[in-house]
A and B are shown apart, each in its own frame.
Chain A
Amino acid sequence: MEIKGMSYTANLRRQTRSRLKRYKTIYLLMIPVVAYFLVFSYFPMALGVFNSLHEIKLLGSITWVGLDQYRAVLSSPVYGQATVNTLIVGMGTFLLQLAWGLLLALCITELRRRVSRSFFQTATYIPYLLSWAVVGSIWIAILSPSGMINGFLRMIFGDGFRRIVFMSERSYARAIMIFTGAWKTAGYTAALFLAAIISINPSLYEAAAIDGATRVEQIRRITLPSIIPTVKVVTLLAVMGMLRNFDQIYIMSNASILDKVRNLLYLIYMDGIVQFKVGLASAAACLVLAMTLLLTLIVRKLIGYDRLG
């Protein structure tokens, strides 16, 4: 669309202007979305950074305190403990969920009947759909003194068995969080693995079988190497979500196990909203955000996520 006598740049500018005019309605359509993000996403972020650098009193006075709040967070034993709890529960959940999901996926592929396959897939997937309020309540009920676990233990050890109050036993607390976390996500992880397994080229198995490889060898040499990209995806998702676990602890924690399971986000919520330590909580939130980004970056590099395969 070269117009005679006009320089290239002028032409381009003209073209842009005419497009701007043509797409006027389109820009109008975008206004609510942009406005939403500015108010509910960018502004809170900026406000969080601002609050982390200021001391805000209940009466409304605001004073600049620099990095004091950050120092307070970093030297606070409670936040240190919360970081340890978050990492232990997060790592544990991730490892168990990965192993559980992988085992589920491998076993489901070996099932020959469609009915049993879809039954197991559905049954294991459902917990992933449910909220932590539901999953947490289910497990609190099952682990209660009158619940199913104690019932089983009684069946095994006889009537002399003294019931265990699992939910207030400090030594079980983290294990329970790890187990329930994995219980909720194992089916989802398995679904991801199953999708990867289905897309493996069948002729690979055929060729291996002709060469005399047994089914177990086929799984080891073909299936497992083919789903490594999915392992990477699952790892990355877990790392990104690890520091952001709130719902589980909010629902399942109680006073007697709190210092074993209280994690960063729960502590931030308690400090910032319930106890009104806005500056401290904002500083902690900024640190967690930075930690998430850093951790994601490190793990991406470590597992070679950006390379192919």
Chain B
Amino acid sequence: MKRTLLSRVYELRFYQKNIVWFLMTIMGVLMVLPMWNVIVVSTSSTLASTQSGVVLWWQAFSLEGYQYVFQITKLARPFMNSLLVTTVGTVLQVLLSSIAGYVLIHRDLPYCRLMMTFILITMMIPGDLTLISIYRLNKSLGLLNSYTGLILNGLISGFSILLMRNYFSSISYSLAESSRVDGANELFIFARIYLPISLPGLATVFFMEYVAKWNSITLPAALLTKESMYTLPLMLKMMILSTNSVSGVAQVPNNAIMAAIVISAAPLLLIYVFAQRFLLSGLNLGATKE
């Protein structure tokens, strides 16, 4: 706030401000118009949505597109698949990474550094580069085309463990020590002392991972072949493909595709609106130096 006050005295000149506004308008239009276009077309009637050109306002408002994706494309199934897999996976991930993070704050714990290295190495192995082996592994475990497979792969990440560990280590360690002296067991200390005061940290991991899992394409693309198991991204891809194809398959109308896009994006926008604070802090943490 101080900065704003100070710089108010030293602003850009008038013509320079105009340049800034000019640039902002161009960039804003580039970023916003495509998304606006999607919203308008998704809520236009099928007839209006087949009209080509610059569509930035409703000619005929209608929810036909949404009706189409639920009745004909049967988008409810992939939506529920995505919701189930993402929610269960994220809850488990938050739980497991907070447990691991809690273990790693005990500095006098024998082999603590070894475990740390063990986790850090996994961060050097990107999951998408071991995709072939992950596919083979899941095949032999019978996890192809299953919810378990989608949830289990990528369930824990070194990054979320480190994030939780950093959060926990900012809490005074003597808190754990003193309750240990009082005879509390480890689980109690973790669940009753550490977890409640770490809610912001837990929320950060939760929302970050929720976004990442919801958007995941590589893993379902590798593990799923059955259409009934498809998650939203795969379903979207299939819808665009059928539009591009020249075969006799019935084309998906424009407003239906746009409706599917809106449905895929809606949960993330909701998260952004309600949990922006946690999301931004987490995303920026990923980029801080060491």
Closest CB of chain B to A156's CB: distance in Å? 11
B217 (CB) vs chain A CBs: closest residue: A247
With a cutoff of 8 Å between Cβ atoms, the chain A residues found around residue B7 in the complex are 202, 205
A25-B187 in contact (CB<8A): yes
Identify the A interface with B (CB < 8 A): 16, 19-20, 23, 25-27, 29-30, 32-34, 36-37, 39-45, 47-48, 51, 100, 103-104, 107-108, 110-112, 120, 122-127, 129-134, 136-142, 145-148, 150-152, 154-155, 163, 167, 183, 186-188, 191-192, 195, 198, 202, 205-206, 209, 214-216, 218, 229, 233-234, 237, 244, 246-247, 250-251, 254, 265, 268-269, 272-273, 278, 281-282, 285, 288-289, 292-293, 305
- Of listed A137, A233, A288, residue having the most chain B CB within 10 A: A137
Residue interface mask B61-81, A partner, CB < 8 A = 1: 000000000000000000000
A132-B128 in contact (CB<8A): no
B133-A51 in contact (CB<8A): yes
With a cutoff of 8 Å between Cβ atoms, the chain B residues found around residue A305 in the complex are 289
On chain B, which size bracket covers the interface?
35 or more
Q: Given A29-B99, A29-B103, A146-B52, answer yes or no on A246-B186 (Cβ-Cβ < 8 Å).
A: no
Distance A127 CA – B100 CA, assembled complex (angstroms): 32
B10-A218 in contact (CB<8A): yes
Q: Given A218-B10, A246-B218, answer yes or no on A103-B54 (Cβ-Cβ < 8 Å).
A: no
With a cutoff of 8 Å between Cβ atoms, the chain B residues found around residue A42 in the complex are 121-122, 125
Q: Given A151-B54, A293-B124, answer yes or no on A141-B135 (Cβ-Cβ < 8 Å).
A: no
Distance A92 CA – B133 CA, assembled complex (angstroms): 31
Distance A127 CA – B265 CA, assembled complex (angstroms): 10
A127-B31 in contact (CB<8A): yes
SS of B interface (majority): helix
Distance A26 CA – B131 CA, assembled complex (angstroms): 32
Q: Which of B107-115, B167-175, B192-200 contacts A (4 or more CB under 8 A)?
A: B107-115
With a cutoff of 8 Å between Cβ atoms, the chain B residues found around residue A285 in the complex are 129-132
B31-A41 in contact (CB<8A): no
With a cutoff of 8 Å between Cβ atoms, the chain B residues found around residue A134 in the complex are 233, 236, 261, 264-265
With a cutoff of 8 Å between Cβ atoms, the chain A residues found around residue B103 in the complex are 26-27, 29-30
B115-A44 in contact (CB<8A): no
Closest CB of chain A to B221's CB: distance in Å? 6
Distance A104 CA – B240 CA, assembled complex (angstroms): 31
